[in-house]
Structure 1
């Protein structure tokens, strides 16, 4: 795990891979809980029998937004940002879902520092990310997430 405590340390990683998280298993309980939280109960996510028999993937699949919601959790396994007043999830750019994640699949996050800028004391970083699916060539998604870090001076 990388530890970063200020803008200058972050800047040293520009263009470099920061790391890869551990594997996380997507369970049916997690999918069901996400469906309840978002009110998205589409059968391809929550009806195991129908998804097995009628679905194109032979099993239920995670919501695309469920996989996205794992970014902060998995990101914290890659880099620990210290010496902060505040951290803001600022945006997502050029996101593409490449492949569905079936239930019981394992996923992990890979991150590379694509750009960094100092905005009057606020560090804005664009992280090129990819969510890998164990045993699959194509990722679940790829794109860039944008964070704002307010370091303590």
Structure 2
């Protein structure tokens, strides 16, 4: 769900984006993680662990409720990224990988999350420019983040 009420920060070129290394790029709008979203992710990934999909059993579990899959949170990073920033003049952009991913705190059902993105590195390669963007996914009302991930993306200008 890309927010239509939020305007992403726009960079005019790959070079302009590269010049932002070290800068916080912005923050996405809040998104509610409801049970329907968790159930849909569980169905698609075949991860039906009770902590995610069995509300009755999860109520008696360690978190008092169902929780989102860590990989569900991770899978939302592209959507958050589009809401935070765009780079114009790119012929192609592809996910290159992840350098690091951690899930410090679970996302309890019906929590609201958002991401803060920081451009941490840029490397020119024969294929294009590889950028590392660190996403910190915050949970409303929690001090620990849900996810910290260093994503690597290749942009060809």
Answer yes or no: same fold by TM over 0.5: yes
Q: CA deviation at 1:113?
A: 0.7
CA distance in 2, matches of 1:84, 1:5: 9
Aligned residues: 150
Secondary structure of the corresponding residue to residue 3 of structure 1 = strand
Q: Provide the residue aligned with 2:82 in structure 1.
A: 76
Q: Give the equivalent residue in structure 2 for 1:99.
A: 105
State the match for 2:22 in structure 1. 15
Q: Which residue of 2 aligns with 1:33?
A: 40
Superposition RMSD in Å: 1.1
Unpaired runs of 5+ residues, structure 1, are none
Match of 1:149 in 2: 155
Contact 2:14–2:88, Cα closer than 8 Å, also in 1: no
What is residue 87 of structure 1 aligned with on the other side? 93
State whether residues 7 and 118 of structure 1, in contact with CA within 8 Å, keep that contact through their aligned partners in structure 2.
no
Contact in 2 for aligned 1:89/1:147 (Cα 8 Å): yes
In 1, distance between residues paired with 2:23 and 2:50? 40
For residue 113 of structure 1, the aligned residue among 100, 107, 119 is 119
- In structure 1, the partner of 2:66 is 60
Pick aligned residue for 2:140 from 134, 137, 140:
134
Question: How far, CA to CA, are the matches of 2:13 and 2:125 in structure 1?
Answer: 14
Shift of 1:30: 0.3
Distance 1:87 1:29 in 2: 30
Structure 1 length-normalised TM: 0.94
TM-score (norm 2): 0.92
